[in-house]
Amino acid sequence: MPLITCPDCDKEHSDAAAACPNCGRPLHATAATQGHTDGSYVTNQGTGKALKLQSLLAWTLIIVGFLIVMGASGDNTGDTMSAGTVTGSAAVLIGLIWWLSVRIKRWWRHS
């Protein structure tokens, strides 16, 4: 059984012990690591939900913008775009950029 030195009290003891018999320092950071892993897992789950919601909102923006453009297209006179077309186009553009950023964020997390 290999011996390890406690970083707190510098006493040697078996690495099978969960905690230092001298000072009680937890030797294997498994509990702490586990907690951290669980915490980040929960965070990832939360982020995933937030990203899904953002993706949904971005799609809503694209669709609403598209509908505004469709509705305003009748108002267009010649080459001049109506305020509705500009607003709708802007909404579609923002929605697309938003959706893309969500996609990139998701890809970044998963790679």
Q: Give contact residues for Zn ion (rule: CB under 5 A).
A: 6, 8-9, 20, 22-23, 25
For residue 56, the minimal CB distance to Zn ion (Å) is 52
CA distances from 8 to 25, 32, 56, 87 (A): 7, 17, 51, 64
For residue 19, the minimal CB distance to Zn ion (Å) is 8
Q: How far is CA 36 from the centre of its chain?
A: 17
For residue 23, the minimal CB distance to Zn ion (Å) is 3
Which of 27/58 has CB closer to Zn ion? Answer: 27
Which of 8/15 has CB closer to Zn ion? Answer: 8
Beta strands in 6-91 (DSSP E): 12-14
Residue type, 77: T
